[in-house]
Amino acid sequence: MQWRGPVRIVLDTNILVSALLSPDGPPGRLLAALKHDRVTLVTSIAQLSELRVVLSREHLRADIPPEDAEDLLAGLEVVGEVVTDLPPVTLSPDPDDNLILAAAISGRADLVVSGDKRHMLALGQVGDIPILTASAAAALLHV
């Protein structure tokens, strides 16, 4: 695949959490690619709200210090393109997944990256936007 300009990607919330837990793995490398203008992150207020809730969960706070969580949230608000006009999407039984898919559609994303095998990856794509694992996306983007 060839793109003109930065690749527009939506990173599912599970990928953003994984990036904090394993910064050298594919999710971490995808997140780091945002700093090099090769990738444009597409997100939404709804996803940022979900991420804030997820990162405050007790079982994650032992591995992700609150200041790292806040740094990620603040950084995403700055470097991400926050879309606000989300179309109704009901492709997944998980409402949070539908918000991710809606952000991809609204933000004209080139890729959605997810670790959710049961719902997101099983879809394969939304419209003409492929849904890939972090490993597949990192390989495709050479990061």
Spans of all domains in the chain: 7-141
Distance (Å, rounded) from C-alpha 140 to C-alpha 138? 5
> Sorting pLDDT into bands at 50, 70 and 90, what band is 36?
confident
- Mean pLDDT confidence for 124-129: 96
Asked if residues 86 and 102 have their Cβ atoms less than 8 Å apart, the reply is yes
Amino acid identity at 91? L
- Over residues 55-83, the pLDDT tens digits come to 999 999 889 999 999 999 999 999 999 99
CATH code for the part of the protein at 7-141: 3.40.50.1010
SS3 assignment, position 21:
helix
